[in-house]
Structure 1
Amino acid sequence: MILKNATIFDENFELRKADIAVCGDRISRIGNGLEGDDCRDCSGCVVSPGFVDIHIHGCVGADTCDGTREAIGKMAAHLLTEGVTSFCPTTMTVPLTQIRKALSVVRDCMEHPPKGAAVCGANLEGPYISAERRGAQKETDIRKPDWKEFRELYQESGGIIKLIDMAPECEGGQEFIRYVSPYCRVSLAHTEADYGTAKQAFQNGITHVTHLFNAMTGLHHRKPGAVGAVFDDSSVRAELICDGFHIAPAVLRIAFRQLGEDRTVIISDSMRAAGMPDGESELGGQKVFVKNGQARLVDGTIAGSTANLHQEVKNLIRSGIPVRQAIKSATMNPAREIGLEQEIGSIQVGKRADLVIMNQNWDIAAVIHNGWQVQNNT
């Protein structure tokens, strides 16, 4: 397959005119005037790397914590229609038995992939978090950070855990970071940590922050908080939910400008209600109500999102975020956070042919995954 006459994001995420040749599941050539069988005219379109969602609980009625291949398969199939070609199914703060079952299924889906977006590993949002900042996480299932317990989960699952969220101020938190950071990304999340505690956590090995601003201490001119610590430490990357509901557009502009294009990671944090009509749903064993696309618990607490990365990229572009940074934050930056930047995340010869073709309005015209066109919206 050859994609002709496209405007592509090259390996440096600069927009330029080029053709892309695909052989098997790989990008084989990038240049001008490429010829071959199965040429497809992409005039007027922009070609982006496939989107990578490293924090997603569920969509279309399915959830990672369902602990079934059917659930992961439904998620994988739907995500491709939205341009997401790789993802990390994400657990909630639920009983350890349920986390173990979910990890077992994620591993099975990595070894025997269902049709759809590639399953790239698991993300554990909890259970080692702060009860005071639990958000939509179930308090009864919160546990103290226990690095030995985590190591058992990691080994039992075959090392598929890519991210583990935790609150460093909890008893044993800093020790947990030191022992666990060699295994996977440790992420600051659902935390009461002040500026000093967060900085200490970064020194001990945290390099990632879960949904910046949400469920953590904010930035105040006399109390910088966890948000201030993130802005003040260039070694840390931060997730942002860019649905326009979790974070106001003005704050998104400030954050993207402050963090720079290599430290921003767009996530959906979506739940099973994503891709479904408004109404009653569920997240982490708790009842959720969705109205106008906004998910909340009975007490009004925000409960994840119903968005997807493609919608969020469009939101960011409309909000004035540079296109280059928006695309990079949905592709290369998340790929780097899970150690797959040599395989996915950018348009380069030798990388997997995961591509999203968008028109001038940034609507998806087609999706290519593993070298095959799997979605055509034209």
Structure 2
Amino acid sequence: MVIKNVKVYTENQEFVSGEVVIRDGRFAEGEAPDDPEEVLDGEGCYAIPGLIDLHFHGCKGYDFCDGTRESIAGIAEYEASVGVTAIAPATMTLPVNELEEILSVAADYKKEAQKAGALGADLIGVNMEGPFISEEKKGAQDARNIISCNEEICRRFLKASDGLVRFVGVAPERSEDAEEFICRMKDQVHISLAHTNADYDTAMKAFAAGADHAVHLYNAMPAFTHRNPGVVGAVSDSAHVNAELICDGVHIHPSVVRATFKMLGADRIVLISDSMRATGMPDGRYTLGGLDVDVSGNRAVLASNGALAGSATNLMDCMKTAVQKMGIPLETAVACATMNPAKCLGVYEEYGSIAPGKKGNIVLLDEELKVKAVVKDGVRL
């Protein structure tokens, strides 16, 4: 395949007019062949890598924690259709045995999808948001299933997923052994701070022990204030820590998004959607982690108390919102939805940029950032 007449997003985070060549499902070097199998006229569109969402729960009526191959396939199909070509869904706080079964199903799905050459989004990881979280900042998680971080249980999760789990979230203030847990597990999986009520000092100790990720910064954690900087301040002071941001226009004020880019630098920020099963569906009542959620527009709240419960916006629309309504440069936003998550997941050799040898996943966007075409493994969807 040859994609002509496009503005190609480069690894230098800039757009350069040119064309893209894909051979055998991967980006290729050199000039286009004289007789390519397919020529796609990009009509001056932006050509960006397929997006990577490393924290979301579901879409189109499906939830990753449904624990079925059908749900994962439905999620993968929808995500690819909107330009998200690789995914690392998040778990909810459920009983340990249920989580093990969900992870086992995901591992089996990945093996089967690879054999079949599925054109839905690639399942490249799992982000464990629970169950090692705090009751105080549980958000839409079910408090009945919260437990303190436990090495034996964590290893069970890793085994059940056949290595698919890439992040395990913890609330370090819940356990006196949290730092030891982080030290012992950090070389097996990325440890993130998630749904935590930790103060600045506790968060700094967790990061010093080896935690290197922050789940949806600002949400489900203490407020960032001038006397009590909390987890946000600790993230700012820990240069090795990457932070997720939900830029759906609901979870974080645009001014705070802009300030965070200035505070952390774009290379440490990962755009996520945190989307739930209502994404891509009509308004109404849905479930998340067994709890009822009411959705109106792009706002999802718990039916019981009105607390924010994930988002109803896919990552492509979050990136678009970051650019058009929050003032983040397109070149920066693209990096935070492609390169940065690929690096966090440890898959940058295969995903995250348009470079020779990487998987031929590419999205064409017009000047209004509307998706005009999605190419997955060199095949137009």
3-state SS of 1:144 partner: coil
> What is the deviation of 1:35?
4.6
Unaligned runs of 5+ in 2: none
Amino acid at match of 1:46: Y
> What is the deviation of 1:255?
0.8
- CA contact under 8 A between 1:124 and 1:164: conserved in structure 2? yes
- CA contact under 8 A between 1:52 and 1:84: conserved in structure 2? yes
From 149, 155, 158, the counterpart of 1:151: 155
TM-score by structure 2 length?
0.96
3-state SS of 1:217 partner: coil
Report the counterpart of residue 355 of structure 2 in structure 1.
Answer: 348
**Following superposition of structure 1 onto structure 2, how do residues 301-320 of structure 1 map, counting pairs within 5 Å?**
301-318=307-324, 319-320=326-327
> What is the deviation of 1:36?
3.6
CA deviations over 1:340-373 (Å, ceiling 9, x no partner): 0110000101110000011111100000111111
From 248, 254, 261, the counterpart of 2:259: 254
Unaligned runs of 5+ in 1: none
Say if 2:103 is the partner of 1:121.
Answer: no
From 338, 341, 349, the counterpart of 1:334: 341
Note the aligned Cα RMSD (angstroms).
1.2
- CA contact under 8 A between 1:110 and 1:121: conserved in structure 2? no
Amino acid at match of 1:350: G
> What is the deviation of 1:159?
1.4
Report the counterpart of residue 228 of structure 2 in structure 1.
Answer: 223
From 325, 331, 337, the counterpart of 1:324: 331
Compare 286-295 and 361-370 and name the one that shifted more.
286-295
3-state SS of 1:128 partner: coil
CA deviations over 1:236-291 (Å, ceiling 9, x no partner): 11000000100011111111222212101011111111111111100001111112
Amino acid at match of 1:309: L
| CA–CA separation in structure 2 for the residues paired with 1:267 and 1:288 | 20
3-state SS of 1:329 partner: helix
> What is the deviation of 1:115?
4.2
Say if 2:291 is the partner of 1:286.
Answer: yes
- CA contact under 8 A between 1:296 and 1:303: conserved in structure 2? yes
**Following superposition of structure 1 onto structure 2, how do residues 135-214 of structure 1 map, counting pairs within 5 Å?**
135-171=139-175, 172-214=177-219
CA distance 1:218–1:6, change in 2 (3 Å):
same
- CA contact under 8 A between 2:65 and 2:91: conserved in structure 1? yes
| CA–CA separation in structure 2 for the residues paired with 1:139 and 1:199 | 25
Say if 2:98 is the partner of 1:93.
Answer: no
**Following superposition of structure 1 onto structure 2, how do residues 29-44 of structure 1 map, counting pairs within 5 Å?**
29=29, 35-37=34-36, 38-44=38-44
Amino acid at match of 1:199: M
Number of aligned residue pairs: 373
TM superposition outliers: structure 1 runs of 4+ over 6 Å:
none
**Following superposition of structure 1 onto structure 2, how do residues 261-280 of structure 1 map, counting pairs within 5 Å?**
261-280=266-285
> What is the deviation of 1:87?
0.1
- CA contact under 8 A between 1:18 and 1:30: conserved in structure 2? no
| CA–CA separation in structure 2 for the residues paired with 1:357 and 1:34 | 21
| CA–CA separation in structure 1 for the residues paired with 2:357 and 2:344 | 20
Compare 62-71 and 229-238 and name the one that shifted more.
229-238
> What is the deviation of 1:151?
0.9
- CA contact under 8 A between 1:30 and 1:349: conserved in structure 2? no
> What is the deviation of 1:181?
0.9
- CA contact under 8 A between 1:218 and 1:228: conserved in structure 2? no
> What is the deviation of 1:43?
2.7
3-state SS of 2:287 partner: strand
| CA–CA separation in structure 1 for the residues paired with 2:71 and 2:257 | 32
3-state SS of 2:354 partner: coil
- CA contact under 8 A between 1:19 and 1:34: conserved in structure 2? no
CA deviations over 1:34-71 (Å, ceiling 9, x no partner): 75422221132000000000111111111111100010
Percentage of matched positions with identical amino acids: 42
- CA contact under 8 A between 1:107 and 1:121: conserved in structure 2? no
| CA–CA separation in structure 2 for the residues paired with 1:352 and 1:327 | 17
3-state SS of 1:169 partner: helix
| CA–CA separation in structure 1 for the residues paired with 2:238 and 2:104 | 35
Compare 317-326 and 337-346 and name the one that shifted more.
317-326
3-state SS of 2:295 partner: strand
Amino acid at match of 1:145: C
3-state SS of 2:347 partner: coil
- CA contact under 8 A between 1:8 and 1:16: conserved in structure 2? yes
From 359, 362, 369, the counterpart of 1:362: 369
| CA–CA separation in structure 1 for the residues paired with 2:278 and 2:291 | 13
- CA contact under 8 A between 2:101 and 2:160: conserved in structure 1? no
